Structure 1
Amino acid sequence: MPTLLASGRDADVFALDGHRVLRRSRDGRSPAVEAEVMRHVAGLGLPVPRVYSVDGPDLVMERLHGPSLLGAALAGEVTAEETGRIMADLQGRLHALPAPGGGGVLLHLDLHPDNVVLTATGPVLIDWTNARQGEADLDVALSALILAQVALAGTFPGPVAALAGEGLGAFLSHTRGDPVRLLDAAVELRAGDPNLAPEEERVLAAAAEAVRGRASA
């Protein structure tokens, strides 16, 4: 029997063996598009989990071994400065790749420290559920906004909130994009997320202002 490893807001992840995991969408949605995006960027050298198969709501992927970037930062294994730099580096590398079909820029739209796994071979970017084509600055603004929300929401443990606040400054200092140009669009996108907690929604406007202030400092 598969072993439950983790439960997210809309999916569960099971260990199949030492090398593979199965992620199952609770709403029955097919991850076929997500899998194709992952195969595309993997083929261009971006570190993502290897995709083995898709069947209905099930996505079988490579099992990664190592802490999340968030976990490593909380354990003192990486600094907040390194956390922001790693996020910005992965995002910049993604935006430099040709998108499927050759048009536009591929966006992750959920890049934060808990969606990066630090493996023995380096950071790996996971959870491509929201990926689509668009303008790179939207991706940058959304990552900054997520960090600001975590720092301000008041529902996360103190060390997590502190790391998000410090990581925001580091991310902004290392990003190759403009976190403000499409910030209003990022706020609208974030507000429409059905998985957004009430506390995160409550601080959304304040988080946007925090991003503006830190970006202009």
Structure 2
Amino acid sequence: MFDPVLLGAGRDADVFALDEGRVLRRYRNGADVTGEAAIMRYVADRGFPVPRVDRAEGADLVMERIDGPTLRAAMAAGDLDLPAGAEILADLHRRLHDLPARPGSGLRTRVVHLDLHPENVMLGSRGPVVIDWRNARDDQPDLDVGMTALILAEVVVGDMFGLGALADAVLTAFLDRAPGDPVRLLTSAVAMRRGNPTLSAEEKGRLASAATLVRAGYTGLR
């Protein structure tokens, strides 16, 4: 066993290495992780690539450590071309939304991630693995696809981390490949992002322009 080592700090959680194969993610506000863990186990049992969950209790989630770069880092470094990265995002959506609905979920709903962007895809030894399932729930797949497009567009509009040009190219390629209709529930995606307490006022101010960018880029012809 290793002493816990801080690996990273996100907007609302810290991630610690517990040993060579496991990490602990702990929410600073004490948010309960059991619902998130249940969804991760559900999709994992049906073959979707997520970290293995070892323990979920209170604000602590102990899970498999995924080694490898994020999808964003691989594309930014030139190790993965942008259309291929966009295809990975589109394929992950397709695979997730093709899973059977959870018992008791609404008509036409599936498990949706609602934060599936290049920073939340790890390129591990077993292929792309989706992390950070805090926002996941049962809902309509088009909302999930629209949320990914919106988040990419936010990076374009704000040129966040100097990645605006990269995100613009990925967004264009994603809109050409994404399953479903990324704009049908885009207004709902904007409302969800606007209600996100971890976003700054400046970030929320970019949402309208980001949504316009998504609508302008989606032709519906695939």
TM range (shorter): over 0.9
Q: Distance in 1 between matches of 2:82 and 2:201?
A: 26
Residues 5 and 14 in structure 1, CA contact (< 8 A), matched pair in contact too: yes
Q: CA deviation at 1:100?
A: 2.1
> Partner residue of 2:145?
140
Q: Distance in 1 between matches of 2:83 and 2:104?
A: 34
Q: CA deviation at 1:161?
A: 1.5
> Partner residue of 1:206?
209
Q: Distance in 1 between matches of 2:114 and 2:24?
A: 22
Corresponding letter in the other structure for 1:4: L
Q: CA offsets, 1:114-147, max 9 Å, x none?
A: 0000012210011000001111100111100000
1:59 pairs with 2:61 = yes
Q: CA offsets, 1:16-59, max 9 Å, x none?
A: 01100000010111100100100000000000000000122110
Q: Distance in 2 between matches of 1:157 and 1:187?
A: 21
> Partner residue of 1:130?
135
Unaligned runs of 5+ in 1: none
Corresponding letter in the other structure for 1:150: V
Q: Distance in 2 between matches of 1:59 and 1:123?
A: 20
Q: Distance in 1 between matches of 2:51 and 2:200?
A: 28
Q: Distance in 1 between matches of 2:115 and 2:200?
A: 15
1:111 pairs with 2:113 = no
Q: Distance in 2 between matches of 1:55 and 1:87?
A: 30
SS at match of 2:116: coil
> Partner residue of 2:168?
165
> Partner residue of 2:101?
99
Q: Distance in 2 between matches of 1:47 and 1:203?
A: 32
Q: CA deviation at 1:102?
A: 5.6
Q: Distance in 1 between matches of 2:40 and 2:101?
A: 11
Corresponding letter in the other structure for 2:18: L
Q: CA deviation at 1:199?
A: 2.8
SS at match of 1:216: coil
Q: CA deviation at 1:163?
A: 1.3
Which runs of 4 or more aligned residues in structure 1 lie more than 4 Å from their structure 2 counterparts after TM superposition? none
Residues 37 and 100 in structure 1, CA contact (< 8 A), matched pair in contact too: no
Matches within 5 A, 1:41-52: 41-52=43-54
Q: Distance in 2 between matches of 1:56 and 1:194?
A: 20
Q: Distance in 1 between matches of 2:74 and 2:131?
A: 16
Residues 150 and 200 in structure 1, CA contact (< 8 A), matched pair in contact too: no
> Partner residue of 2:33?
31
Residues 7 and 13 in structure 1, CA contact (< 8 A), matched pair in contact too: yes
Q: Distance in 1 between matches of 2:178 and 2:90?
A: 5
Residues 153 and 199 in structure 1, CA contact (< 8 A), matched pair in contact too: no
1:176 pairs with 2:184 = no
Residues 19 and 63 in structure 1, CA contact (< 8 A), matched pair in contact too: yes
Q: CA deviation at 1:64?
A: 0.4
Q: Select 2:16's aligned residue among 14, 17, 22.
A: 14
Q: CA deviation at 1:98?
A: 1.3
Q: CA deviation at 1:177?
A: 1.1
Q: CA deviation at 1:80?
A: 1.4
Corresponding letter in the other structure for 2:102: P
Q: CA offsets, 1:160-203, max 9 Å, x none?
A: 22111111011111111101111111111111111113332111
